[in-house]
């Protein structure tokens, strides 16, 4: 049995079951360990040699950025900064870091208090054997200032394109406050010149999720975000691609309006999709759990959204948007399927959690093998 096969079996049958009891605590502990080990160039080199694949056939250029692989890490894994170097060394072609909000937030409450005074711990992350994750975290993060500072300290070791996933601080109440909040985040991230900035328009794991579904607010947020970025770029001369990340629970009319706004405001890309609150069909068994659902049961909704984005991008004309697929892309077959729907780049998070440390190597190897068919 090969070392890779043994490691995959150990991960699937031992590590995943043990860590499923408290995925949030496991993640935090793991990334604390990562923060120590990634200071070692020798360790990063060993990780790269074991898990990475380098081949010019994998390289793609989009938005003026050269990606060593089109298969990237989605936001939500590297939440605070630590771990970015190790994920890059493992073989991801780039990574979305965050989500960051301007103000530090603890996320949704970890304890629920009942009317009789009882306090019950809330499980904010639930992981299931079929590859599903239900996330009710609520964007806990250290705030943009601290998050960017953490990345700046290791920026020279990441050696891959990276961008920041940005959202308004939850609970601000109105669009003007949200846009002002995003403007402050942008002022900070431009200091270290990331490869791109993603505006997280729809986040089902926050208390603001219902408000975020309003298309008029999404459009106003996009316009405010773009205006703030344009102002900073005019002042600094630093040009950073803008990406809008959308959810999978939108009507075709709303998707068309998002695509139109992206073109009008000079966004370079649309990322489809975030997690879903939909609990119909196969997802009905998770109806009791609040939050955003990701994994294999998200894929068809992400695929449908990507098809709509591609359709409207063509119909509206002008420069084509780069289309980034995200949501349940756990195999090369699914990657090819969503690529045929128009995707140029691919992001994975939940499939990486279930796939283990060899996930990127396996996906990149399958991608390379497709050139030989």
Structural domains in the chain plus CATH codes: 3-370 (3.20.20.70)
CB of 356 closer than 8 Å to CB of 11 = yes
pTM: 0.96
241-247 mean pLDDT: 98
Peptide bond into 229 cis (omega under 30): no
Of 287, 244, 312, 306, the closest CA to residue 96 belongs to 244
CA angle 177, 195, 162 (to 5 degrees): 95
Residue with tokens 């793991």: 30
Strand partners, 363: none
Counting DSSP H helices and E strands in the chain, the numbers are 14, 15
- Residue 225: CA count within 13 A, CB half-sphere: 30
Tell which phi-psi region holds residue 138, choosing left (phi > 0), alpha (psi between -120 and 50) or beta: left
Give 111-142 pLDDT, tens digit per residue. 887 778 788 888 999 999 999 999 999 999 99
The secondary structure of residue 266, as a DSSP letter, is T
pLDDT beyond 60 at 227: yes
**Residue 92 has what pLDDT?**
98
pLDDT beyond 60 at 212: no
Higher pLDDT, 174 or 299: 299
Residue 119: CB atoms within 10 A of its CB come to 9
Q: Cite the beta strand spans of the chain per DSSP E.
A: 60-62, 65-67, 71-73, 95-100, 111-113, 119-121, 125-127, 133-135, 162-166, 196-200, 242-246, 269-272, 292-294, 322-326, 345-348
**Residue 102 has what pLDDT?**
98
**Residue 210 has what pLDDT?**
56
- C-alpha span between 211 and 202 (Å, rounded): 9
pLDDT beyond 80 at 260: yes
Give 1-13 pLDDT, tens digit per residue. 799 999 999 999 9
Average pLDDT, the chain: 94
């Amino acid at each position: 049995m090969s070392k890779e096969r043994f490691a995959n079996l150990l991960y699937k049958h031992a590590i995943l079951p043990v860590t499923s009891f408290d995925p949030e605590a496991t993640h935090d502990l793991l990334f604390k360990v990562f923060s120590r080990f990634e200071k070692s160039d020798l360790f990063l080199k060993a990780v790269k040699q074991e898990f990475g694949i380098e081949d010019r056939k994998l390289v793609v250029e989009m938005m003026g950025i050269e990606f060593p692989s089109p298969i990237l890490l989605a936001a939500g894994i590297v939440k605070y900064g630590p771990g970015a170097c190790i994920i890059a060394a493992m073989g991801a072609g780039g990574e979305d870091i965050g989500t960051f909000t301007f103000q530090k937030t603890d996320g949704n409450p970890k304890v629920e208090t009942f009317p009789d005074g009882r306090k019950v711990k809330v499980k904010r992350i639930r992981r299931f054997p079929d590859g599903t994750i239900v996330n009710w975290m609520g964007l806990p993060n250290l705030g943009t200032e601290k998050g960017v500072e953490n990345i700046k300290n290791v920026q020279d070791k990441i050696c891959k394109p990276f961008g920041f996933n940005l959202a308004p601080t939850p609970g601000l109440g109105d669009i003007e406050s949200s846009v002002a909040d995003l403007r402050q985040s942008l002022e900070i991230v431009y200091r270290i010149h990331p490869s791109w900035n993603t505006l997280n328009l729809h986040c089902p794991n926050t208390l603001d999720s219902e408000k975020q579904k309003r298309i008029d607010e999404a459009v106003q947020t996009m316009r405010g975000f773009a205006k703030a970025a344009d102002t900073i770029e005019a002042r600094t001369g630093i040009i950073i691609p803008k990406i809008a990340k959308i959810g999978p629970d939108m009507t075709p009319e709303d998707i068309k309006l998002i695509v139109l706004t992206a073109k009008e405001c000079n966004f370079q890309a649309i990322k489809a999709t975030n997690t879903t609150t939909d609990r119909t069909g196969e997802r009905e068994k998770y109806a009791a759990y609040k939050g955003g659902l990701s994994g294999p049961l998200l894929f068809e909704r992400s695929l449908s959204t990507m098809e709509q984005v591609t359709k409207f991008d063509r119909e509206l004309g002008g420069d084509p948007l780069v289309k980034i697929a995200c949501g349940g892309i756990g195999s090369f077959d699914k990657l090819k399927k969503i690529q045929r729907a128009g995707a140029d780049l691919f992001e994975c998070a939940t499939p990486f959690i279930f796939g283990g440390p060899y996930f990127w190597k396996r996906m990149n190897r399958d991608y390379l093998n497709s050139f030989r068919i």
